[in-house]
Amino acid sequence: MTIGGWILLITAWGGIIGLTLWCIIRVLRTPWQE
Amino acid sequence: MSAGKEQWGTRIGLILAMAGNAVGLGNFLRFPVQAASNGGGAFMIPYFLSLILLGIPLMWIEWSLGRYGGVRGSGSTPGILDAIWKSRVAKYVGALGIFMPFVVMVYYTYVESWSLGFSLLSIFGAFPETGGIEEMTHFLRAYQGAEMHASGMFGNVDTGAFIFPGLAYGFFLVTLGANLWFLYRGLSGGIEKVALYGLPALFLFAIVLMVRVLTLGTPDPAIPENSIANGLGFIWNPDLSALSNPQVWLAAAGQIFFTLSLGMGSIHVYASYLSDKDDVALSGLSTSATNETAEVVMGGTIAIPAAVAFFGVAATTQLAAGGSYNLGFVTMPVIFQQLPLGDLFGALWFFLLFIAGITSSLAMGQVVLRFLADEFGMTRSRAVALLGAVVFLCTQPVVLFIEYAYMDELDFWAGTFGLFVFGAVEVILFAWVFGIDRGWSEIMKGADIRLPRIYKFVLAWITPLLMIVIFLAWTWLNAPSVLMMDGVPAENRPFVIGARLFMLVSLAGFFYLIRRAWRDKEGPRAQERERARAA
């Protein structure tokens, strides 16, 4: 795997996992219908 | 209780159910094939641009349309489109949003049952032990009833006209029964429960498989280029010259559209159980992000990198060209056969696909149930019984004519082309007919996050124009050859035409039901009822 591949992989994974965790935390902090 | 008067038990349950709807076989099979064959890492640039400009905005549109319709008593798309577009044809255009989930459910439940079947076959070590790709291909074809198997383990019966697939049929009945049972249990008691347990299990299985694949190293030290690092490189190394190829951009936008289950009608139905003040902005974003984790992080790390590590780049390219099902049901079992505890990893892989499948097929079934409840006041148990009987009957040709491309034809028109049509129509209606000012207020109503104002412009212009361009380009490139049956062998043609007739009859059936429902709602009898109630 080239340096460019690693940079893309880490950026994409970091971005997606970060966004997902941020969303889950926000959702758990603002529940409704519970 | 009717399917129209329920509600979600918890917010996280709804988001997991929405994510389960979006996460399907495509996340683990279609995405890595698309990425690898469209410029590798360079594919990610148009892919993420499409996510930001097309996928997430469309997700917000579908969530808010669903809530808008649900608050007004219509959770399925005929009623929703009728509410936002004052035209006599609106409800008939909305028919697409029930027709597609119904037709897709007819074949998807069968494919889903293969995952369940292969999961158990893997646990019991039933795959061919000396298994190469060719042998596993025979195994799959025998399981599907496309050919007889010398072992007789599939319970196949050769009728002369077709081979009846005994074992596959048994798993199909179990899978359809499970779907109907969870649908019968209702929104919070069935669908939400499956999502609450199923999605975490799916992520757990995917992480176990990811760790297994990432620690493969170089399985055969004699061939050092067949390594997991090169497998990841096959997907992620950027070939920037691919960015000048419009096909790559189209493939990326198409993948975003399919993976998020947009243009299907099922997101609307799930969102229709929200109240007017419930958030859709954060929930829609959460659904998209969860799906992307399953796709980019997990889907991109399992099948293709493992295939490269065992077979090399050239062979993987060929295997990927054989299609997603071949990659999932032929290549993966062969790889697992060569690992210690391979039967267990194989079972995890197929059960993961089964969870991804059932959480999507439940959403398709719920679309039809909600339509029957809203427009005909049908109780859940009656609607489930009707849906079960119709899906069971309509799946018979899918099972029996699997080798004659009957299912592929349904998949192309209802599971692919139809999504582009409906996606383009709904975004135009939302932005330009319903109006972007009203639309933006709808999305922001009760929002738990503040969306950047630039997204109002994106929703008004970028997303609709992008959707139109993609629809036209995709149709131009793909539809004519399929319509004219180019390359379809002569023996398959009657079955392809049969599949088209089935779809036309189904669509006409939904038109008829909509006409009847609206005649009852708006006709003289309804007006009499209104007058009597007022008096």
pLDDT for position B531? 77
What is the CATH classification number for the domain harbouring B305? 1.10.4160
Does pLDDT of B424 surpass 50?
Answer: yes
Contact A23 B229 (CB under 8 A): no
Give B178's Cβ-side CA count (13 Å radius): 18
Task: Give the ipTM of the model, two decimals please.
Answer: 0.95
Confidence of residue B2 (pLDDT cuts 50, 70, 90): low
B2, part of any domain? no
Q: Mean pLDDT of all residues in chain B?
A: 93
* Interface with B, mutate which of A20, A21, A26, A34 (most B CBs under 10 A): A20
Boundaries of every domain in chain A: 1-34
Into how many domains does chain B fold?
1
Q: Look at B278 and A33 and tell me if their CB atoms are within 8 Å.
A: yes
Determine whether the interchain pair A34/B41 forms a contact, defined as Cβ–Cβ distance below 8 Å: no
**B63 contacts in chain A (CB < 8 Å):** none
At B522, the pLDDT band (50, 70, 90 cuts) reads confident
pLDDT at position B114: 96
Taking the C-alpha atoms of residue B176 and residue B265, their distance in angstroms, rounded to an integer, is: 21
Q: How many CB pairs under 8 A join A and B?
A: 86
Q: What is the pLDDT of residue B152?
A: 82
Which strand (E) or helix (H) includes residue B521? helix B493-522
B141-174 tens-digit pLDDT: 999 999 888 788 888 988 888 889 999 999 999 9
For the segment B371-385, what is each residue's pLDDT rounded down to a tens digit? 999 999 999 999 999
Say how far apart CA B339 and CA B168 lie, in whole Å: 26
pLDDT at B527: 74
Q: Lowest-confidence range among B108-117, B181-190, B321-330? A: B321-330
CB B133 within 8 A of CB B320: no
pLDDT at B350 over 90: yes
pLDDT digits (tens, 9 = 90+) for B478-508: 899 999 999 999 999 999 999 999 999 999 9
Residue B410 lies in a domain: yes
- Convert the pLDDT of each residue in B64-75 to its tens digit: 999 999 999 999
What pLDDT sits at residue B1?
A: 52
Q: Report the residue from B7, B9, B286 with minimal CB separation from A23.
A: B286
Judge whether residue A33 has pLDDT over 70: no
Residue B5 lies in a domain: no
Q: Is the pLDDT of residue B3 over 60?
A: no
d(C-alpha B195, C-alpha B369), whole Å: 18
Length of chain A: 34
In a domain, B4, yes or no: no
**Which residues does B contribute to its contact with A (CB < 8 Å)?**
7-12, 15, 40-41, 44, 48, 229-230, 232-233, 236-238, 278-279, 282-283, 285-286, 289-290, 292-293, 296-297, 448-449
Q: Which domain holds residue B53?
A: 11-239+248-534
- The verdict on a CB contact (< 8 Å) between A5 and B233 is yes
Count of other CB atoms within 10 angstroms of residue B478: 16
- Cβ-in-10-Å burial (0-12, 13-18, 19+) of B134 comes to exposed
Whether residue B203 is contained in a domain is answered as yes
Is residue B85's pLDDT more than 80?
yes
**Rounded distance between C-alpha atoms, residue B158 and residue B520, angstroms:** 49
pLDDT of A34 strictly over 50 = no
B267 is a domain residue:
yes
* Residue B156 counted as domain residue: yes
Handedness of CA B247, B249, B251, B254 (dihedral sign): negative
pLDDT tens readout for residues B446-465: 999 999 999 999 999 999 99
